[in-house]
Amino acid sequence: MNIKSLLLGSAAALAAVSGAQAADAIVAAEPEPMEYVRVCDAFGTGYFYIPGTETCLKIGGYVRFDAGYADAYTPNSDGLYTNSRAHISLDTASDTEWGALKTRIVARFDYNPHNSETFEENTRTRLIEANITWGGFLVGLADSQYSSFSGYAGDVINDDVISYGPFELNQVTYTFDGGNGFKAVVSLEDDGTNDNDIPGGASDWPDAVAGIKYDSGTFAASLVGGYDESQEEGAIKARISGTFGAFSAFLLGGWNTDGDTTNKYAPGDSVGTSWGDWAVWGGAGYKFTDKVAANVQLSYTDNETFAATGNVQWTPVSGLLIQPEISYTSWDAIDEDQFAGMVRLQRTF
């Protein structure tokens, strides 16, 4: 074998080996196209499309720390207390032929080292809202329309020492929106009571709420009524409010169908004393600058329970609230009164 034949044979062998190795080589797959999150501005700030769907999602909430001395809701209270809260909200929305289809979920987690005196654990978990809205209907868990439709009381923490209505309830609600500031609502609410032995004759029927409201953006007036079928009593509330530049004010009045008792829509005060025939709440707020505001609220009942609260709200940076508040309550029915003070730090996102 000559040199030329040897070289040609070696080259052929090397080519065969290289071909075999090339056949076994791992080829990297092409990267999958990445779908970036798209902003969904059809339903307001903060929504984005869930990737791969036409459903919009909004995530929000806050983290809060409260520290205070005594309790405006409890006579003869004293001592320091603290509470930490994580509040998470999830909202979804999508367009349909019948209008926006929305859901809302709100959960709270509170840690209070004194909770074990009332609850089994210091950490308390609560589902605040879980509802579906579509075409004017709302079904699921939300604040009673008696409390939310007309508007809550003032922009203070201790706003319901004299209670103006119930809050979280399962319900079926229809709201008519005229698109010109006029709204009307009807709601059936489940208070969890179906005991026919309740004095007064309870049945298995839900409670009922109905109301009307006009809101121009700077002025609002509303009237709402609720019937507690378990007690066969109810209440009516009227509220007016207005905003005039940096100044805002409201007046809320309630009438109890039986002033000698309490019912779900006339709950009485924090120690269980009824309103009597009526109760009234009033308050005002003033925004001094973009970072500093102050609020005050006064409330009083026919049975001479009086509650007063004032605060200052400081927002040093966007999303951070520092709010000191002082309160005073006088319960004539038990001849007691109480001062209380607290400060709240809250980061909203």
Residue type, 220: A
Least Cα distance to 279 among 230, 240, 310, 236 occurs for: 236
pLDDT number for residue 191: 82
Output the tens digit of pLDDT for each of the chain's 349 residues.
454 454 345 444 434 444 444 445 555 566 555 567 789 988 999 999 999 899 999 999 999 999 999 999 999 999 999 999 999 999 999 999 888 999 999 999 999 987 656 656 788 999 999 999 999 999 999 999 999 999 999 999 999 999 999 999 999 999 999 999 999 999 999 987 655 555 444 457 899 999 999 999 999 999 999 999 999 999 999 999 999 999 999 999 999 999 999 999 999 999 999 999 999 999 999 999 999 999 999 999 999 999 999 999 999 999 999 999 999 999 999 999 999 999 999 999 9
- Read off the pLDDT of residues 56-101 as tens digits, 9 standing for 90 and up: 999 999 999 999 999 999 999 999 999 999 999 999 999 998 889 9
Structure-block tokens of residue 254: 């309630």
* CATH 2.40.160.10 at 56-348, yes or no: yes
Instruction: Give residue limits of the domains in the chain.
Output: 56-348
- Cα gap 347→338, rounded to integer Å: 29
| Residue carrying the six token digits 């007690």 | 231
Torsion angle of the four alpha carbons 138, 143, 149, 150, in this order, in degrees rounded to the nearest 10 = 180
Q: Are 245 and 128 in contact (CB under 8 A)?
A: no
Q: Residues 140, 127: contact at Cβ < 8 Å?
A: no
Q: Can you give the pLDDT at residue 111? A: 95
The reported pLDDT for the residue numbered 30 is 62
Whole-angstrom Cα distance, residue 213 to residue 150?
A: 7
SS3 percent helix, strand, coil of the chain, rounded to 5, is 10, 55, 40
CB-based burial, 165-200: b 16+ in 10 Å, e otherwise: bbebbbbebebeeeeeeebebebebebebeeeeeee
Place of tokens 């002082």: 326
Is residue 318 classed exposed, middle or buried when 0-12, 13-18 and 19+ CB atoms within 10 A define those classes?
A: exposed
The model's pTM = 0.84
Length of the chain: 349
**pLDDT reported for residue 28:** 59
With a CB cutoff of 8 Å and minimum separation 6, the contacts of 92 are 50, 55, 56, 57, 58, 102, 103
Terminal-residue alpha carbon distance, the chain: 85
Alpha-carbon distance of 241 to 232, in angstroms, equals 31
